């Protein structure tokens, strides 16, 4: 496990609270706006920040994030811009930065090169949802060699054995999808969801982060009994989009949003 990730999770556990991870799309709607949004989330108290490098076919994402990815790409986003964004954030914030993207990007860029650039920029972990551990072209090994977390994903329907396999192979924490489907849909934590969270909790040897559909303070509170970190993505991207369209102070809007969620 990356030392920064490990230390942060220990801090969260020792404080008796649930951790929080925000999400931005690098370059959405442009580089400057995404940097301001990221800074707002960090200053609002986010423990982790997931920075998504946009891809033209984001299969795990719903319309909100998909549309943001398209906008960033239309505006000329390049992979180097994503690394630059992380470098800029690390100069101004202690929030732990993770990169989320898709297999096509890292395979085309070159896995070893992508991992090394991620480390150089200051990222502490990678989240690649469409790369199964059995066919990862050496990603897990390369990440381990470079001391960056390769965060694997557990999805509803995974068996107890599969959860144990994923938590043994991955590092950092186990990203747990709250429900079937794509990101951004409303997620009610019903009996089925809670049983799923219990299954993961009872079988993961890694800390647990839960995402997909989280948008309220109440949902974050509900998750405290089941996981270590709550992940919010589409809801924050919607707020970024609204702030840009209505010419609001993006940094301040995101800072206030996160503060209100966590306090």
**Active-site residues: which are they?**
50, 61
CA distance 128 to 243: 28
Task: Give me the DSSP letters along 160-226.
Answer: HHHHHHHHHH--S-EEEESSSS-TTS-----HHHHHHHHHHHHH-SS-EEEESS--SHHHHHHHTTT
Report whether 10 contacts 227 (CB < 8 A). no
Strands (E), the chain: 19-25, 48-52, 96-100, 125-127, 149-151, 153-154, 174-177, 208-211, 229-231
State both tokens at 111: 């896995």
């Amino acid at each position: 496990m990356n030392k920064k990730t490990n230390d942060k999770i220990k801090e969260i556990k020792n404080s008796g609270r649930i951790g929080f991870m925000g999400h931005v799309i690098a370059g959405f709607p442009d580089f400057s706006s995404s940097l301001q949004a990221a800074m707002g989330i960090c200053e609002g108290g986010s423990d982790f920040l997931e920075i998504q490098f946009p891809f033209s076919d984001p299969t795990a994402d719903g319309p909100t994030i998909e549309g943001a990815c398209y906008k960033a790409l239309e505006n000329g986003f390049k992979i180097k811009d994503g690394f630059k964004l992380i470098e800029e954030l690390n100069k101004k914030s202690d929030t732990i930065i993770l990169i989320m993207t898709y297999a096509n990007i890292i395979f085309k860029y070159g896995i070893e090169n992508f991992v090394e650039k991620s480390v150089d920029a200051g990222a502490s972990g990678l989240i690649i949802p469409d790369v199964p551990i059995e066919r990862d072209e050496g990603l897990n090994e390369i990440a381990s060699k470079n001391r960056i977390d390769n965060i694997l994903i557990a999805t509803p329907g995974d068996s107890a054995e599969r959860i144990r396999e994923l938590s043994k192979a991955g590092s950092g924490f186990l990203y747990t999808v709250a429900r079937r489907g794509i990101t951004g849909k409303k997620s009610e934590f019903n009996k089925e969801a809670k049983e799923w969270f219990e299954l993961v909790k009872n079988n993961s040897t890694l800390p647990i982060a839960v995402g997909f559909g989280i948008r309220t303070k109440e949902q974050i509170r509900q998750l405290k009994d089941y996981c270590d970190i709550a992940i919010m993505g589409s809801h924050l991207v919607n707020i970024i989009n609204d702030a840009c369209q209505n010419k609001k102070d993006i940094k301040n809007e995101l800072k206030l949003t996160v503060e209100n969620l966590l306090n």
